[in-house]
Structure 1
Amino acid sequence: MIPDEIKTDRSTNPQGDPGTKTVFIKSYGCQMNVYDSQRMADTLAPAGYVETSSPDNADLVILNTCHIREKAAEKVYSEIGRLRVARDERRRAGGDMQIAVAGCVAQAEGEEILRRAPAVDLVVGPQTYHRLPDLIAKARSAKPVDTEFPIEDKFAVLPAPRREKTLARGPSAFVTVQEGCDKFCTFCVVPYTRGAETSRPVASIVAEVERLAGAGVREISLLGQNVNAYHGEGPDGRAWTLGELVHRLARIDPITRLRYTTSHPRDMDDSLIEAHRDLPALMPFLHLPVQSGSDRILDVMNRKHTSAEYLRLIEKIRHARPDMAFSSDFIVGFPGESDADFEATLRLIEEVSYVSAYSFKYSPRPGTPGAGMADQIDEEVKAERLARLQSLTEGQQKAFNHASIGRTMDVLFDRKGKHPGQIAGRSPYLQAVQVEADESLIGTVAPVEITTTGAWSLHGIVSGTTLREKVA
């Protein structure tokens, strides 16, 4: 999970060609929404839409929303208010702007969005955005709401991005392989907004990764609400595990890195652990949410695992891959959480020693069991607990970064750095790494000796030749 919002702002049409329609897509929430935003842009490209870097000059604005926390949902309505002002200004100047709400808020609230925000022209859920061109056309005379769970497979009808578009997005790419959730944690809206767990066929995923690899992508992050519950149909007709899938993807040249997120501890099977042991391309960094260290709270959350089972799983993975590092999600202030429950979470964090973490105050989501529970925790208590937890996890992250000094790590360079003559990339542990080197290294993997650390990044020097040639 990624907190707050991510702005998708890729290729632009700065000249405002009057023969071209422009679209601005803003994503909130998880990496899957970033992937969906990219596929929305791909879907709209054949209809003549190009992406623009600002909503102010866009013919179409799409807010691809997240419903995990109340704050994220409220941000959407605030943004709609700002867009309404921008749209009115465009209309006074003789132009126009359509406003679409997509994603999980769209799925959860549907018609309510139109009632609460009349400026919105259309609402589309995460399972139906492949219908965007038709919905946009309908929105000229009505305000369509499409939040069905359609029978057709959206991945089978989504157009592939053009090669130049893939190149512009950089050497790392997301690929959704699994959607939905059957776990029904009592704090979570995902089963209601994304539906039941479904998995794409292996052949469909392989074809997408092969296209990405041919366009210069070197790193693939496999996405799913419960990605390690993957059970897509394999070429042999049976359901493959995620472990089998990553073995197949690791054979695609020149993919050098594989990742996956987000995982559930209950779905971490032996074949996946063995893949971490056997595949150098599978990065030694795993996001494995636990949410709480208290067995009592885990039970009320309906997580269906204990803290001891989680710790044994961590130990088993580290035995298979000794250099493995972990990140996690934590919710503080879940209904009924006592001081003792919270202290149990801190003890678990100390025992695992995470390299990063996403932590949040519990936010009741309408329609979930947690929202109706007694013993809701006071906001001041939540804030105090969150500050203590974040202080602990941030200290662990800084310690891990400091321990990287003197190590040589393979870094995938994906962008220019903050300063002239600098380029930046990511270590196997997703640490930001800055070096002084020629821009020709962008899109390649090269060994870097880490020399110093900043507040949240590493600095080093390139210590050898690139591991893979870059595709032009």
Structure 2
Amino acid sequence: MAKRFFIKTFGCQMNVNDSEKMAGLLRDMGYEKAQTPEEADIVIVNTCSVRAKPDNKAYSFIGNLKRLKKRRPDLVVAVAGCVPQKEKEQILRFPHVDLVFGTFNFVKLPQLLERVKREGRVVEILNRKIPEEEKLPLVDSYLENPFIAYVTVQRGCNRFCTYCIVPFTRGRERSVAPHLVVEEVKRLAERGVKEVHLLGQNVDFYGYQGTDLADLLYMVSEVEGVERVRFTTSHPAGFSERIARAIRDIPKVCPYVHLPPQSGSNRVLERMNRGYTREEYIEKVQMLREFVPNVALSGDFIVGFPGETEEDFEQTLSLVEECVFDQAFVFEYSPRPFTKAATFKDDVPKEVKNRRLQTLQELVKKQALERNLERVGKVEEVLIEGFSPKGSELYGRTADNKPVAVEGSEELIGKTVEVEITQASPFFLKGKPVTTGVRSKR
């Protein structure tokens, strides 16, 4: 009977991509995927430390594995990702953890597991450039969704925003050779993937021997079988007219941009070391909408950053009112180790942070509902990904990343269909097909 693995992933899409690659390595070793930790011979916890919440969730999950390890001493418990990269000593306090490794050396998982068999507990945290991970196996059975895949094209960050731990856990910026990216996308397309997401901590700063992100979008879009191309996460300082033109001119590139402002106050942006002003951010959004009028805009915001006043927060609200967002992820500031902001006085009370978070969320929710109501009665192209979590309806997304619940049967899964929108809520649409199995252009 084949051994089985279970991977619990916390955090960003980059972590999802890393977990899929680790799953590919394990399947090559003869392992099969388990549905629960209780069924597995190896459990890997892939951690995130960008914010305190996923950090704490990871620690809780790791702690809960102690009982399972006690019942099954042969179980291998591994902890990977950003948390051990920054604070391996905290992980080592859990005596039931057999393997600890960081973000730079997940590609060595097979060798690390062999060392565990020979040596017992193994700890390996590297701080150097990883091998080109696009050479790793990745097929549809390793994917969270067989029709959608993430392809890492850029890792690390050189920006050193004062609140952000990424440069310390993911290293400096480095880009993957474009021919390796294209090879990866071709392999995925051959296995039925319809949509690829090009990932980078600062994807707009992708650059490899004269090839920039706009060039890469053209190259990837030429791969036969791929219907949609997305990219994330953008940085306002790196988002350029060349990228906006590529979104406009390449039919496969989706009209959706995640462009995090973080704040609308110049004073706060300077303390965050973001490298742009609110005026420059607004100019970028205006430029983008000149090229792509129907673009959907999303962003990230931090409320309660050290020193943020009510006036600063009002400027964030005014930026949102001016730019208009289809979606936004709003977080209360939490200090992260190693960052400069961790030395700042965290002087915004918890209740004030929470009030600002709710106020900003309500504003974005209002904007999103207004924009979505405009779509009722219109026909949208939706890539059907599968059944909704409730199981009674199909689920998919429009080209501009709107989730849609769709009436229909199983044969529509994996197809791009035209859907008439019948209902709208702030962050979700409902509709019914007007054609079936149609691969149509945006």
TM > 0.5: yes
Cα distance between partner residues in 1 of 2:344 and 2:188: 46
SS in 1 for 2:420: strand
Does structure 1 residue 427 correspond to structure 2 residue 398? yes
Does structure 1 residue 226 correspond to structure 2 residue 202? yes
Does structure 1 residue 172 correspond to structure 2 residue 172? no
Q: 1:10 is matched with which residue?
A: none
Gaps of 5+ in 1: 1-18, 233-237
| 1:433, distance to aligned residue in structure 2 (A) | 1.2
Within a 5 Å distance, the mapping from 1:67-106 to structure 2 comes to 67-91=49-73, 96-106=74-84
Cα distance between partner residues in 2 of 1:274 and 1:313: 13
Post-superposition CA distance 1:97-123 (Å, at most 9, x none): 111111111211123310x22221111
The one-letter code matched in structure 2 to 1:194 is R
The one-letter code matched in structure 1 to 2:183 is A
Cα distance between partner residues in 2 of 1:349 and 1:468: 35
| 1:242, distance to aligned residue in structure 2 (A) | 0.4
Q: 2:222 is matched with which residue?
A: 251
Q: 1:39 is matched with which residue?
A: 21
Does structure 1 residue 182 correspond to structure 2 residue 158? yes
Within a 5 Å distance, the mapping from 1:381-392 to structure 2 comes to 381-392=352-363
Shift in CA distance, 163/185, structure 1 to aligned 2, threshold 3 Å: closer
Q: 1:11 is matched with which residue?
A: none
Q: 1:299 is matched with which residue?
A: 270
SS in 1 for 2:95: coil
Q: TM-score, normalised by structure 1?
A: 0.90
Post-superposition CA distance 1:430-464 (Å, at most 9, x none): 22212222211111111111011256421112112
| 1:331, distance to aligned residue in structure 2 (A) | 0.2
Q: 1:132 is matched with which residue?
A: 109
* 8 A Cα contact 2:104 2:130, kept in partner: no
The one-letter code matched in structure 1 to 2:46 is N
Post-superposition CA distance 1:382-436 (Å, at most 9, x none): 1111111111112222222222101111100010245676322111222221222
SS in 2 for 1:213: helix
* 8 A Cα contact 2:23 2:142, kept in partner: no
Cα distance between partner residues in 2 of 1:419 and 1:147: 41
Q: 1:121 is matched with which residue?
A: 98
Within a 5 Å distance, the mapping from 1:230-309 to structure 2 comes to 230-232=206-208, 238-309=209-280
| 1:150, distance to aligned residue in structure 2 (A) | 3.9
Shift in CA distance, 134/309, structure 1 to aligned 2, threshold 3 Å: same
Q: How many residues align?
A: 439
* 8 A Cα contact 1:181 1:196, kept in partner: yes
| 1:139, distance to aligned residue in structure 2 (A) | 1.9
Does structure 1 residue 317 correspond to structure 2 residue 295? no
* 8 A Cα contact 1:171 1:216, kept in partner: yes
Q: 1:450 is matched with which residue?
A: 421
Q: 1:112 is matched with which residue?
A: 90
Cα distance between partner residues in 1 of 2:273 and 2:194: 38
Mean alpha-carbon deviation: is it higher for 105-114 or for 408-417?
105-114
Shift in CA distance, 419/268, structure 1 to aligned 2, threshold 3 Å: closer
Cα distance between partner residues in 1 of 2:313 and 2:138: 46
Cα distance between partner residues in 1 of 2:341 and 2:139: 44
| 1:325, distance to aligned residue in structure 2 (A) | 1.4
* 8 A Cα contact 1:445 1:467, kept in partner: yes
Shift in CA distance, 277/329, structure 1 to aligned 2, threshold 3 Å: same
| 1:256, distance to aligned residue in structure 2 (A) | 1.1
Q: 2:48 is matched with which residue?
A: 66
| 1:164, distance to aligned residue in structure 2 (A) | 4.7
| 1:148, distance to aligned residue in structure 2 (A) | 0.8
Q: 1:4 is matched with which residue?
A: none
